[in-house]
Structure 1
Amino acid sequence: MADSVQTPSKRVCHSNVEEERGLEDIDRISDLPDSVLCHVLSFLPTKMSVATSVLSKRWIDLWTIVPALSFSYTEFTDRFVDPVYKVLAMFQAQTIHQFSLDFIPIATVDDAHIDKWISAAIKCSVQELSLKLNFCSPRGPLVRLHGHVFASKTLVCLKLFGGVFVGVPANVCLSSLRILQLERVWYANDGSFNRLLSNCPILEDLIVERAWYDNILALDINVPSLKRINVKSASSGADACKLLINAPLLERIELSDTMIWNVQVEDLSNLVEAIIDMEGTRELIKEMGNVKFLSLSEDAFSSIYYDSTKLPAFCNLVCLEITTRCEDWHYLAALLKYSDNLKALVFHIIVPLYHLGRKCDMSLPETVQKRVSVSLQTLKLTGFCDQDCNWKLVRYVLKNAGLLKQMKIGTSLRLQKRGRRLKNLLMYPRASMACEIVFFNDSSGQEYHL
């Protein structure tokens, strides 16, 4: 009798266990509103989104109202056409926020199929359209965009990659487009590119990547609303090209197209950040007086050699990043001549092969001393190696930078193992006793202690 009677404490304990098990069995995710679940599914490829229909009755038709469709050859392999049509036939959402096609061109996927799929997306007021063709070989353009793409009033973002033929009609008008990405596409002529840009009245972001088959002789970027621009080349085989920029609201510019032989700009008074990795940019750099963040590759840095006296006063420059050889360090004086507000300096050191194993007594010129001492707070070095010039550079900055807070030095694994040599660096005289010296591995970026 006594064994069959539970004490109150045991009954409460047993009840708690059952309650916990019940909580574990509750499908909390399925109880979320459709809007939340659709938002989560929009981050998945469409094939995975459709696969959730087998979870329960709650999920059977949920994928049909997800406002994002993404089709990739990695999911559908050699069967691409039928699944896309099947999904579009069952799709029930009134609007499409994102529509993405990413595939390797095959015979069964032609202009007619692409046109029907894109037309369906445009009818659903698509906002972001991405079309990517992955070429196995340079066989020429395979997909021609039809006129309705360039007449969409809802497109906010248009991204075209690979073998897309861009022949812009006369009646183009992308009144809502803010982001345009054109990478390795085919243009009918110069007029197609220029006409496309001139009919994007609120365009803010532009990315252009030229390929070896690019046939444009002049990139004329005349967009009053443009704020960010990135022009690059996919290979060195592209034809030489002229770049013309008229974008008075431009805030950020990144140029890395080695085949642009001439750059002309109208107004860069609002420019905040510039990343330049190409030659022939001397005139461009002269217009960057208001820039705050400036990054120059070795080729770009060489652009100031020939006429450094006409460089502007970089009154707003707070961060400078340069890649250069030690024998060119004396040109840094011209760049820093009027950079009284410089707070951060990033040095990517290049050691020429003819310097390896030889004594090198190069160092920064004395005229740099004032610029280093009045404002510099952080210095980052990459490519630091066991050369006399490298050690002199560190000693020089530590001795003169009275406001320096941190010096970060990137080394190879080989030099990292020579801890005793690096420890001597910690004993160098410092103008700023608050300066912290940090070492990191150039390859991994991981910091290490001696």
Structure 2
Amino acid sequence: MDKIPAVKKARHHDSKNKFDASSCNQLCDLPDALLQHILSFLPLKDVVRTSALSRRWEYLWASAPNLDFNELEFPERVYFLGFVERALLFGDSSSLKCFSLLCFVDQEASRINSWITTVVRRKVQKLQLCLHFQAESGINYMLPSHMFRSETMIELYLAMPCHVRLPPSICLPKLKILTLVEVTFEDDGLIEKMLSVPSLQNLTLHKCNWWHLKALNISAPKLLRLCIVEKEFATDMRSNCPCPVLINAPNLLCFSYVGGLFSNYAISATSMLVQALVRVDGPAERTSDQFASHGYKLLRDLSAVNHLIHLILTYNILEEFNMRKVFLDSFPVFSNLLVLAFDLDRVKLDSKALFAMLSNSSCLFSIRFGGGLFVDSEKDEGILQPTPQCFLSSLKYLTICKFDATDNQLLAVSIMLRAAKVLDALCIKCSGHCSENFSGNLLQHIEELPRSSAHCTISLLT
């Protein structure tokens, strides 16, 4: 494909000439470069329609810097294949900013690989591939080696629910953004090279499969953001997933994890980490001990980061610690944590694990209970006692969401107001059930509750 000479196109103007705005009376008078820039903002189908405007426009669309091909938009596969073929045939050798391809591989693997090779040789900067396979096809597909030896590629998005076979040599000196979706990593050691490109800044692994590897190593010196959405493993693999995920990224700023903690995550050399999100599903059957152990190790590694100021958790990861005294007695210390948020799950204020978390986060400035807050018992004796240091000296802002105004939720608010001595603002976001559970003036009732901070303002949002 890439060896076919470019088709000679009719032009009204020499592209080397300077553009004279005073002589431009209509759109067709604009230079090719400017017209192609305008076309880059349009969907590809609309760009193709411009070929009917005049002889000059006939092939201009094929030189557009952004090419986006989606097989699902075509009534028949043969039309799609021919359309992509013509677009790359009529295109000149100009550089591509973005090439996006969504298609089924089927029996055209070599044809599709020739397209990918062509755009790589056209110095593509952003490559997006969503390749699908029929379950019964049995295709042993391998991406072209040219794809992993690009001097210009800045961003690569690869969604491919099968094994990725990598070439022995990987050279992507400008790659900054890498997203892999539903990819199964081969046990050949080459994936470590892919995940450790020296220029890599953003890495996303979305439901990829690495359970059969001995270890998954991510060691990127310039990595700033890492997002891992862990794949749901089969039941027989959940309790025996030996593959650890080893993260060594000295300049990492943001870490995000979503999943069931099937793998054991180890984070080291992340002294710059500022924000972490840990959103975990509940433990799968027969994996409760593994879930708690992996969750504890992950929190312990995060607590060792000197600059971590924002931590988002789902509550069930702490709830698992309540039944394990060894974790409560040696709970990680978050000495620099300023913002703590509990996402999704409703939090029990009388949880031992929550008390350990608050007691070991002495500098907390803001706490958000995104899933709600309640007290599991009818009495408030011993809850938040002794009072965590952050409630006495640093906690200024408290947000409670999904508030139903039930008795156990009102009791939780009352305990928090009495404990927080320097609180500036309490924001309560009410659900639609508040009027069902409390018939009076709810804001007035809360404002009349005893509190330790006289200057605390209370707001209710519906």
CA distance in 2, matches of 1:148, 1:387: 62
Which letter maps to 2:449?
A: Y
Counterpart check, 1:124 vs 2:122:
yes
Partner of 1:158: 156
Q: Supply the distance in 1 between the matched residues of 2:298 and 2:353 (Cα, whole angstroms).
A: 17
Aligned to 2:286: none
- Distance in 2, matches of 1:282 and 1:315, equals 17
Paired residue type of 1:335:
M
**Counterpart of 2:194?**
196
The residue that corresponds to 1:316 in the other structure is: 336
Q: Which residue of 1 aligns with 2:407?
A: 388
TM-score, normalised to structure 1, is 0.79
Instruction: State the Cα deviation string for residues 167-208 of structure 1 (Å, max 9, x = none).
Output: 11212221111111111013332523223224x121111111
CA contact (8 A) 2:399 2:428 kept: yes
Q: Does 1:346 align with 2:368?
A: yes
> 3-state SS of the aligned residue for 1:335?
helix
Match status 1:206 vs 2:185: no
2:317 aligned partner? 300
**Change beyond 3 A, Cα 1:196–1:437:** same
Counterpart residue number, 1:71: 69
CA distance, structure 1, for counterparts of residue 67 and residue 184 of structure 2 = 25
Change (3 A) 1:153 1:427: same
- Give 1:113 shift: 1.6
Q: Using the alignment, how far apart are the partners of 1:254 and 1:41 within structure 2?
A: 36
2:226 maps to which of 213, 229, 239: 229
Residue 190 to residue 399, structure 1, CA distance change in 2 (3 Å): farther
**What is the CA–CA distance in structure 1 between the aligned matches of 2:34 and 2:258, rounded to whole Å?**
41
Select 2:145's aligned residue among 144, 147, 153.
Answer: 147
Give the whole-Å Cα distance in 2 for the aligned partners of 1:134 and 1:43. Answer: 27
- Check if 1:288 corresponds to 2:314: no
User: How far is the alpha carbon of 1:152 from its aligned partner?
Assistant: 1.2
Distance 1:149 1:376 in 2: 51
> Which residue in 2 is equivalent to 1:47?
45
Task: Please tell me whether the aligned partners of residues 111 and 143 of structure 1 are also in contact (alpha carbons under 8 angstroms).
Answer: yes
Q: Which residue of 1 aligns with 2:285?
A: none
1:257 equivalent among 244, 256, 259? 259
Is the Cα–Cα contact under 8 Å of residues 349 and 382 in structure 1 kept in the other structure?
Answer: yes
8 A contact 1:128–1:156 mirrored in 2: yes
Of 378, 394, 397 in structure 2, the residue corresponding to residue 375 of structure 1 is 394
For 1:425, the equivalent position in structure 2 comes to: 446
Instruction: Deviation per CA, 1:16-74: give whole Å up to 9, x if none.
Output: xxxxxxxxxx9998787765654453344322322244467786554333211111123
Q: Does 1:169 align with 2:190?
A: no
User: Is this contact kept in 2: 1:96–1:124, CA < 8 A?
Assistant: yes
Q: How many residues align?
A: 408
Tell me which amino acid in the other structure corresponds to 1:425.
Answer: I
**In terms of mean alpha carbon deviation, does 159-168 or 207-216 score higher?**
207-216
Q: Measure the CA separation in 2 of the matches of 1:56 and 1:277.
A: 55
> Relative to structure 2, which stretch is displaced further, 166-175 or 378-387?
378-387
- State the partner residue of 1:102: 102
User: More deviation in 65-74 or 330-339?
Assistant: 330-339
The CA RMSD measured in Å over matched residues stands at: 3.4
Unaligned runs of 5+ in 2: 1-23, 281-290
Q: Deviations over 1:206-229 (max 9, x none)?
A: 111235796445222122222221
Task: Give unpaired runs (5+ residues) of structure 1.
Answer: 1-25, 440-447
Contact 1:166 / 1:192 at 8 angstroms: preserved in 2?
Answer: no
Question: Structure 1, residues 241-299: CA drift from partner, whole Å, max 9, x if none?
Answer: 32111222222111223253322232222211111124412122223232111011224
Give the aligned residue type for 1:189: D
* Cα distance in structure 1, aligned partners of 2:318 and 2:446: 28
Q: Quick check: 1:67–1:98 contact (8 Å CA) kept in 2? A: yes
Query: Aligned equivalents of 2:231 and 2:102: distance in 1?
Result: 19
* One-letter identity of the residue aligned with 1:395: S
Is the CA contact (8 Å cut-off) linking 1:128 and 1:158 kept in structure 2?
Answer: yes
Change in Cα spacing, 1:235 to 1:284, as seen in structure 2 (3 Å) is closer
Against the structure 1 CA distance between its residues 256 and 244, is the aligned structure 2 distance closer, same or farther, given a 3 Å change threshold? same
Measured after TM superposition, the shift of residue 87 of structure 1 is: 1.0
d(CA) in 1 for partners of 2:26, 2:401: 50
**Greater CA deviation, 62-71 or 411-420?**
411-420
- Output the TM-score relative to the length of structure 2: 0.77
